[in-house]
Every structure is written in C-alpha cells, then in structure tokens.
Structure 1
Amino acid sequence: MAQTQGTGKGKGTDRSDRSLAGLVGRAFGRLGRWGGLVFLLAGLALSGWGAYEGAYLAGWAGTHGTLTVKQCEVSYPNNASRSSHKNRRPVRCEGTFVSDDGKGRDAAAAVQVRHRYADGAELSVQQTDAPTTATSADGDYVQGGMDRAWRFFGAFFGGWVLTGLGVFCLATGYAPFGQSRVSYDEAWDAAGRGVTRWIMLGMIGAGLAGAGVSFLVSYFV
C-alpha cells in the first residue's frame, strides 16, 4: 500500500513538473519579436565587448609602453584556499609606466598578469586609461598578447550569430524556444520574401566561421 501511494505522489509530481515546464515554454514562445530584440541586443553587446577588449590586447588601441616592475604579489579570491587556485592565481605587478614616446609616465602603475616577475623586469603593456592626475593611482593597464586578443575577436564574431538570430526573430516573430505562435516554416518563408533570410544566413555563417578561425589562431600565435 505504501508503495502504491508513493508511486501516485511521484506521478503527480511529474505531471506538475511537466505542466510548469509547459507554461514556461508557452510564455517564452509567445515572446516572438521581444525575444528577437533580446538576441539582437545581446549579440551587439558581445561583439562590442569582444572588439573593445581585443583591440587593447592586440595593441591597436590605447597607449603602448613599458612597466618596470617594483613588486608583484598574488591575491587569492575570497573564501578560496591557496591550493585550489594554484594554477590560476591573479598576480598584480606594480611599478613605473613610461610610454614609448616618453610623454606619458605613471609611477603608480599596476597590471594584472599571469605569473610573478622579478623586481626590475620590464613588461610590455597597454595603457587603457591614463591616471586622472600625475599623483593618482587610477590608471588602467593590460598586458597585451595576440593569443588573448584572438579569443576576444572570437567573442566578437560569436556576437554576430546572436545578432543574426535576433534579426530573424525580430522580423518574423518566430521564437526558437517553447511553443512559438509563428511556425518555423512560416517564418522561413516570410524571411525569404525580403532580405531578412540572407542577412541572417550571412551573419550566422560569417560569425561561426570567424569565431572558429579566431579561436583556432589563438592557439598558434
């Protein structure tokens, strides 16, 4: 008897879970163009972030110069043991930054790097933001590297995929999740009557190819 009651409760729970999942799916499915707008904005944000970070790491933006190390220290994340983070320690090196043209100088420069450097070591860095005053310590610096830059360029192209999907959903009202009010076939036919389909295919194809090539190149530079 106990087993029968337990089985009944289990079935009731399964039905409730399925009903809840169905409600959530229908709610998301009705988003349609709102969901497309979310994809579009997310794609643009991802592409912008990837381009911004990648440009600085590649040395295409900001002010390039040399940071002469005075000291480096490892800062461990809160509530984490040292041993659990020994392979991914954030290291902060402080020192004096001098731009390549000699016009920019910051005696209180600091940069996050992958490992410790000896005092007096010269690091090639990019100044993303200059200090507000000659004595302030609020300048921002990054240690450049084409391997890291290419990974951010991969994110830049990855944003194209979301943007292309957003354009498709925004133009047709199709939602790729839940029970969409507009079927995929209807949306595909509607997109083909203008340039929407070609824009979507072009952006998704270029995004996937660009992201794949960027991540591949990052392992060989």
Structure 2
Amino acid sequence: MARKAQKAQKQGTRTNSFLTGLVSRAFGRLGRAGGLVFLAAGLALSGWGAYEGAYAAGWAGTHGTLTVKECEVSYPNNASRSSRKNRRPIRCDGTFVSDNGKSQDANAAVQVRHRYEPGTELSVQQTDPPSTSAAADGDYIQSGTDRAWRFFGAFFGGWVLTGLGVFCLATGYAPFGHSRISYNAAWEASGRGVTRPAVIGMIGVGLVGAGVSFLVSYFF
C-alpha cells in the first residue's frame, strides 16, 4: 500500500510539473504575442499620426480653400447609440480652389468636427486630386496648426506602445493576466543588453512628445 501511495504521489508530481510547464510556456507565448500586438498598434498609430499631421500642417499635399455649400451629419448605419451621441462625423461639401489656382474641384468634401454655415471658407489640404473634373473622389483634410499638433501627439503616443511591445517581445513578460515571468525578473533581464535603454528611450520620448504636442495644440 505504501509503495502504491508513493508511486501515485510521484505520478501526481510529474503530472503537476508537466501541467506547470505547459502553462508556463503558454503564458510565455502569450506575453510575446501581446508584445507583438503592442508593437503593431504602436507602429500603426505613429504612422497614422505622422501621415495625418504632415497634411494638416501643410507639409504634404496641395493647400487651398474649400468654400462650404452645405454640411450634414452622417452616421454609419451600424453605429451604436453611444457612438452616435459621443461622435458627430460631419461632412461639408463645397468647392475647392488651390492657393496657386491650378487645382479646382466643384465636388470637394471634407470631414470636420463642427458644422459650418454655407459660404464659410475652410483651410484644407488636398491629399489626392479627383480622377476627373466631374468626379467626386478627391480626398481632403482640414488643415490647421492645432490639428497638426494633435496628430503629432498621436505619433508620439505610438512610441509608448512600441516601447511596451519591444519590452514584452524581448522578455516574454505579459502585462495582462498571470505572467510566466514577473515584472522584476523581466526588468532585470532587459538590463543585460540594449533592451532596457531602448525601451526607456522610446517610452520617455513618447510620453514627453505626446504631452508637449497636446499642450501646444491648445495655444493655437
């Protein structure tokens, strides 16, 4: 009886060790998978912020004036009641004329945050001209220094997510749920190479850049 009990205990210990190993490896993969998600989200956010910010600042595209004909609120068909209440996507149609007079579009339209009266002149950036003079497929972004700085804030915010992604990918630390590797162990491991300085640099620049950008946007 004693031998059977010892044998059963050994088998139970092996089973527990095997299950612990499986869980440990699963959470290690989960940490790196989460890091990959953070990294992809950060790069996407930074790319979007840089793209939109460059146009809003007038560094890219063709600058001009869109004279408003009418503005209307258009909600997506699948928008929830809360999103309808909290977000008001407004589309203003009108005529666009570039500053140099070389580009005109009588079917221009731009997404804005506020409704404008007919005849209002909006400063916009043409990101893509219409395919033909009669087509209504031109793309426009409302330009302005304040809007540009907000987009740059998003650009720097992406650095924070990228830094977190690099940290999780390099160490296997999972910032959610039960992590196989503790934060202290992951932080110590990151100091053995260039991971820690890179993460600190990206997160630090991201936080400072985003804070300064959003703060400056309120002064314009």
Under TM normalisation by the shorter chain, which class is it?
A: 0.7 to 0.9
Give the counterpart letter for 2:168 in structure 1: C
Secondary structure in structure 2 of the residue aligned to 1:103? coil
Instruction: Return the alpha-carbon distance in structure 2 between the equivalents of residues 216 and 39 of structure 1.
Output: 25
> Retained in 2: the 8 A contact 1:30–1:179?
no
Q: Report the CA distance shift for 1:119/1:220 in structure 2 as closer, same or farther (over 3 A).
A: same
> Retained in 1: the 8 A contact 2:65–2:121?
yes
User: Percent of counterpart pairs with the same letter?
Assistant: 80
Unaligned runs of 5+ in 1: 1-25
* 1:149-160 equivalent positions in 2, closer than 5 A: 149-160=148-159
Q: Report the CA distance shift for 1:196/1:105 in structure 2 as closer, same or farther (over 3 A).
A: same
The worse-fitting range, judged by mean Cα deviation, of 87-96 and 99-108 is 87-96
Q: Report the CA distance shift for 1:59/1:176 in structure 2 as closer, same or farther (over 3 A).
A: same
Instruction: Indicate the residue corresponding to 2:55 in structure 1.
Output: 56
Instruction: Return the alpha-carbon distance in structure 2 between the equivalents of residues 91 and 173 of structure 1.
Output: 44
> Retained in 2: the 8 A contact 1:36–1:170?
yes
Q: Give the Å deviation of 1:212.
A: 0.9
> Retained in 2: the 8 A contact 1:63–1:127?
yes
The ranges of structure 1 where at least 4 consecutive aligned residues each deviate by more than 4 angstroms after the TM superposition are 26-30, 74-81, 87-90
Q: Give the Å deviation of 1:183.
A: 2.2
Instruction: Indicate the residue corresponding to 1:9 in structure 2.
Output: none
Instruction: Indicate the residue corresponding to 2:213 in structure 1.
Output: 214
Are positions 1:168 and 2:163 aligned together? no
* 1:92-171 equivalent positions in 2, closer than 5 A: 92-171=91-170
Secondary structure in structure 1 of the residue aligned to 2:177? coil
TM-score, normalising length: structure 1: 0.77
Q: Give the Å deviation of 1:186.
A: 2.3
TM-score, normalising length: structure 2: 0.77
Instruction: Return the alpha-carbon distance in structure 2 between the equivalents of residues 61 and 211 of structure 1.
Output: 22
Instruction: Indicate the residue corresponding to 2:37 in structure 1.
Output: 38
Residues 18-67 of structure 1, C-alpha deviation per residue, up to 9 Å, x if partnerless?
xxxxxxxx966651222211111111111111111122212122110112
Instruction: Return the alpha-carbon distance in structure 1 between the equivalents of residues 88 and 41 of structure 2.
Output: 30
Q: Give the Å deviation of 1:69.
A: 2.8
Secondary structure in structure 1 of the residue aligned to 2:175? coil
The worse-fitting range, judged by mean Cα deviation, of 194-203 and 120-129 is 120-129
Q: Report the CA distance shift for 1:176/1:116 in structure 2 as closer, same or farther (over 3 A).
A: closer
Q: Give the Å deviation of 1:70.
A: 3.0
Instruction: Return the alpha-carbon distance in structure 1 between the equivalents of residues 168 and 106 of structure 2.
Output: 52
The worse-fitting range, judged by mean Cα deviation, of 53-62 and 35-44 is 53-62
Give the counterpart letter for 2:203 in structure 1: I
> Retained in 2: the 8 A contact 1:64–1:126?
yes
Secondary structure in structure 2 of the residue aligned to 1:141? strand
Instruction: Return the alpha-carbon distance in structure 2 between the equivalents of residues 154 and 29 of structure 1.
Output: 32
Instruction: Return the alpha-carbon distance in structure 2 between the equivalents of residues 61 and 91 of structure 1.
Output: 23
What root-mean-square deviation, in Å, do the aligned CA atoms of Structure 1 and Structure 2 show? 2.7
Residues 51-107 of structure 1, C-alpha deviation per residue, up to 9 Å, x if partnerless?
1112221212211011223333444676899xx96x975443322211122221111
Give the counterpart letter for 1:34 in structure 2: A
User: How many residues get paired?
Assistant: 195
> Retained in 2: the 8 A contact 1:29–1:179?
no
Q: Give the Å deviation of 1:136.
A: 0.4
